[in-house]
Structure 1
């Protein structure tokens, strides 16, 4: 998710009310999800999200990224869920085994993916109410978020969705709890998603995009002039170059990228979590969930 420092420092109640994962919609809400591409219920859920015109402030995208295809990142998943009548939410995710989708807790918390969610795999283009564009849609059997996820601080921002039927999408490996090399400052990481491509437009990307971002030392984000105590060392990952205030010179995730993977050497090392409002506010860094810290906890959900 992308927010501003000022938003992060409001009261817990005000902060919680100011955040939401994904893309808000205005169409009628569906009652369920399905695993077949042509299922009307699945398409109605997708339409409730894809018809939206506005996204909330606290989500993630790739500004300054480049267009890519699902062939290059076959493990990428689109997550759609109805939040309430007329409101839907969108996030990204990664297929880490044939039935498991890794995403962010803020994408799952407070949502009912089991009855009102759809996961789409195998598509470069964002699904909408008329087509899955070559992808396949799946219902969700189970949702799990870290039991200590904090919606105010975004600590422990990690979750897993279990599909009701297996996808044939190619999976991606996740890193281990002992991995240190992937987190060395300067290491090049890849972020992938369908998030916003401009700080001045609320529309998320129609096509999958990617960006290369450097891993930063924790000290860059804990600096009082950046995130200070809002950045929790060991649980969060400081990534990218400082935002410049301009779309033209900033490369960062934004609304719609939340929950998507950060990849180093073919393994997931992070999950897109939060950052700066409108994604380009000058002098800040995007923040990801540090996967190695949660590797053992997530492993228990993969059995």
Structure 2
């Protein structure tokens, strides 16, 4: 409840056009099939687990809840707003499938949220899960690296995931991807003055769901991929189809976030 109460009262402001968006793959490959709603907002296209083998999904109490990213032999990183208040017994985590209802079920032994996660402001919006047994890596189940501490987050990123969090929304049944351009933090500081902190990153607007705007909802699930690393986790996207409404992330290179993951997971 706090999440959407906080998000819905925020306003956004416009800004100048920027350069074209690309991915860590070739520019042509990254743009293939992506529909631009306007110059600063993109919709999702279908992805595959072969291209995104680090992607997992998990249910809470038998209902789809969130996505996560494999970062180690037993380690899954996810937003704190997805791990907060969750116990291992509630989690059914699936890996190795393009479709969130399929794949290998991996038991979870521990769910941890950043101890300083701030629910009203969503600061330090990161948590992790530890699997009960080491993950057996295959072509469709692979880890991805985290960024170095204090690495600057700029330029173009690929956004991957299912997009929507929780039981009250209709998330895509398969993994999706889209494109975004990272902005200076001032863009989000102006748009979301009570939410932007040094632990967050700001990007252009995007929508991981289908192409139709009537299907669009603000999203609170997904990850930003750049240079072969998972560099940020989606806190929430901007208002659907509005270029003047930026998206907000937990910056995984921010010292307070990166140190939390390194000190607890050794990654």
TM-score under structure 1 length normalisation: 0.66
Judged with a 3 Å threshold, the aligned counterparts in structure 2 of structure 1 residues 179 and 6 are, in CA distance, closer, same or farther, namely: closer
| Structure 1 residues 280 and 70: alpha-carbon distance in aligned structure 2, compared to 1, 3 A threshold | same
Residue 143 of structure 1: CA displacement?
1.1
> Aligned in 2, Cα 1:281/1:111: closer, same or farther, shift over 3 Å?
farther
Shift in Å, 1:80: 1.2
Which has the larger share of strand? 2
Alignment of 1:213-228 (within 5 A): 213-223=180-190, 226-228=191-193
Going from structure 1 to structure 2, the CA distance change for 1:266 and 1:299 (only over 3 Å counts) comes to same
Structure 1 residue 176 corresponds to structure 2 residue 140: no
Residue from 274, 292, 299 that aligns with 2:253: 292
Residue in 1 that maps onto 2:48: 69
1:48-72 deviations in Å (ceiling 9; x for gaps): xxxxxxxxxxxxxx97111010000
Offset at 1:120?
Answer: 0.6
User: 1:296, 1:240 → 2: CA distance?
Assistant: 27
**Separation in 1, partners of 2:263, 2:217:** 29
What are the residue-to-residue correspondences of 1:221-236 with 2, within 5 Å? 221-223=188-190, 226-232=191-197, 234-236=198-200
CA 242–137 in structure 1, closer or farther in 2 if over 3 Å, else same? closer
How far apart are the structure 2 equivalents of 1:241 and 1:76? 21
Question: Which ranges of structure 1 fall in alignment gaps of 5 or more residues?
Answer: 10-61
Distance 1:94 1:165, change over 3 A: same
Cα 1:67–1:141 change in 2 (3 A) is: same
SS in 2 for 1:111: coil
Deviations 1:238-262 (A, max 9, x none): 012489xxx6689x9944x52x321
The structural deviation recorded for 1:276 is 4.1
Structure 2: runs of 5+ lacking an equivalent: 11-40
Quote the residue 2:58 is aligned against: 79
> TM-score by structure 2 length?
0.74
* CA-CA distance at 1:109 after TM superposition: 0.7
Question: CA deviation digits over 1:170-193, x for unaligned, max 9?
Answer: 11000011312xx13xx1101101
Aligned partner (choices 70, 87, 91) of residue 117 of structure 1: 91
- Aligned 8 A contact 1:76 1:93 in 2: yes
Q: Which runs of 4+ in 1 moved over 3 A?
A: 1-9, 247-250, 252-255, 279-282
* 1:126 matches 2:105: no
Compared with structure 1, are the counterparts of its residues 120 and 280 closer, same or farther at alpha carbon in structure 2 (3 Å cutoff)?
same
For 1:1-303, what aligned pairs fall within 5 Å after superposition? 3=4, 7-8=8-9, 64-82=43-61, 88-112=63-87, 114-127=88-101, 132=102, 135-167=103-135, 168=137, 169-180=141-152, 183-184=153-154, 187-196=155-164, 202-223=169-190, 226-232=191-197, 234-241=198-205, 254-255=218-219, 258=221, 260-276=222-238, 279-280=240-241, 283-293=244-254, 294-303=257-266
Q: CA RMSD in A?
A: 2.9
Cα 1:261–1:290 shift into 2, 3 Å: same
- How many residue pairs are counted as aligned between the two chains? 222
Judge conservation of contact 1:81–1:88 (CA < 8 Å) in 2: yes
Deviation at 1:230, TM superposition (A): 2.2
CA distance in 1, matches of 2:238, 2:213: 15
